[in-house]
Structure 1
Amino acid sequence: MRVVVLGVGNILLSDEGLGVRAVERLSRAYSLPLEVAVIDGGTSGMELLEDLEGIDALIMVDAIRAGEPAATPIRLTGEALPVFFRTKLSPHQVGLCDVLASLELLGRSPRHISILGLQPQSLALGMELSREVEDGMPALLGMIVSELALLGLVAAATGGGI
């Protein structure tokens, strides 16, 4: 099994950088099975095609605008995935939509796709997460570990700080 945990977002726009910050912390706080690749996708688009081609599962981590209170945990799978791409938070979502569509056309798309994230509080210029989203980071990391467990993969805490 090949699984990619992909953190996306723009770290220059406070909470928009949530996905990138989450995968950085995931790598420090957990020992992951060899089947799991963690990728900082930043604001990439089609450049990710090769990294995502033929994988079994994709767990994408991003800020998700869903009209909920700040830092609300959100998990999207199945029928809810297209909604994520229709309500664009930033340009990187358009590029990822193109990547997933290309993989589908090639018959090489992941069998399991989930998008995990938190409702952003601020998208203002700044490199720090808002206090609310920062406080929600442990819950988001727990969601990623739970999603891996659903796939039969165990992430062990290293004590490396969240």
Structure 2
Amino acid sequence: MRPRLRRGGIMPGRVVIGIGNVLQGDDGVGVHAVRRLRGRLPGDVELVEGGVWGLDLLPFLEGREKAVFIDAVDAGEEPGAVFRFSPREVRRTPSGPPISLHDLGLYELIGAAQLLDQCPEDIIVIAVQVKEIATGEGLSEEVEAALPVVCRLVEEELEGGD
């Protein structure tokens, strides 16, 4: 893929997108993780607080070599459990965990990007098992405790690409 130009220079080749609603407790874990990663990643990585933007995230995928999504998941595991997978791995499991807790899941976003030929070849999802989705800001203790693990996994995914 060719790098895309943007105001002020070349679009970074890699993107980390935090998904979730910070007003719904643990659902906002992806956005909280992106905030923690600010200043810790190489210069060729763009951090995006994707919130609940859904298909509005498509422009952030176009022209990228790699995308890492961070999201909440309810796979019936212990709260704070961290998963790392590619979208292909989840598709192979018919009864696998949902890839997202949002109405428009990552499957739909990634599928749309593929249809529009805007999808990076290398996509990784890092998901955290929620304890509870409830109105209110902040994460449960279990999900908050998982943030260092999530950040380390993201850093490991992006090593050597500066």
Query: Which residue identity lines up with residue 153 of structure 2 in the other structure?
Result: M
Task: Spell out the pairing of 1:120-159 with structure 2 (5 A cutoff).
Answer: 120-149=130-159, 152-153=160-161
Please say which of residues 3-12 and 99-108 is displaced more in the overlay: 99-108
- The amino acid that maps onto 1:41 is G
Deviation at 1:148, TM superposition (A): 1.0
Instruction: Tell me which of the two structures has the higher relative contact order, counting C-alpha pairs closer than 8 angstroms and 6 or more residues apart.
Output: 1
* Distance 1:109-1:88 versus aligned 2 partners, 3 A rule: closer
- 2:101 pairs with 61, 76, 89, which one? 89
Match of 2:13 in 1: 2
Q: TM-score, normalised by structure 1?
A: 0.82
Residue type of the alignment partner of 1:99 = L
One-letter code of the match for 1:72?
Answer: A
Matched, 1:61 2:70: yes
Please report how far the alpha carbon of residue 48 of structure 1 lies from its aligned counterpart in structure 2 after TM superposition.
Answer: 1.3
Work out which of the residue numbers 116, 133, 140 in structure 1 matches 2:126.
Answer: 116
Percent identity over the alignment is 33
Q: Specify the alignment match of 1:158 in structure 2.
A: none
Say which structure is richer in helix.
Answer: 1
Higher mean alpha-carbon deviation, 1-10 vs 11-20, is at 1-10
* SS of aligned partner of 2:135: coil
CA distance in 2, matches of 1:59, 1:87: 13
Aligned to 1:107: 117
Instruction: Give 1:159's aligned residue.
Output: none
Q: CA deviation at 1:100?
A: 1.8
Q: CA deviation at 1:108?
A: 2.5
**Equivalent position of 2:46 in the other structure:** 37
Equivalent-residue separation in structure 2 for 1:92 and 1:26 (angstroms): 25
| C-alpha separation in 1, matches of 2:127 and 2:98 | 16
Question: Post-superposition shift, 1:124?
Answer: 1.3
Deviating 4+ runs (over 6 angstroms): none
Is the 2:58–2:118 contact (alpha carbons within 8 Å) kept by the matching residues of 1? no
Give the Cα–Cα distance (whole angstroms) in 2 for the partners of residues 78 and 43 of structure 1. Answer: 19
Aligned residues: 148
Kindly indicate whether residue 26 of structure 2 is the aligned counterpart of residue 15 of structure 1: yes
**In the alignment, structure 1 residue 26 sits paired with structure 2 residue 37:** yes
The answer to whether the 8 A contact 1:81-1:115 is kept is no
Ranges in structure 1 where 5+ consecutive residues have no aligned partner: 155-162
Indicate conservation of the 8 Å contact 1:5/1:36, yes or no. yes
User: TM-score, normalised to structure 2's length?
Assistant: 0.82
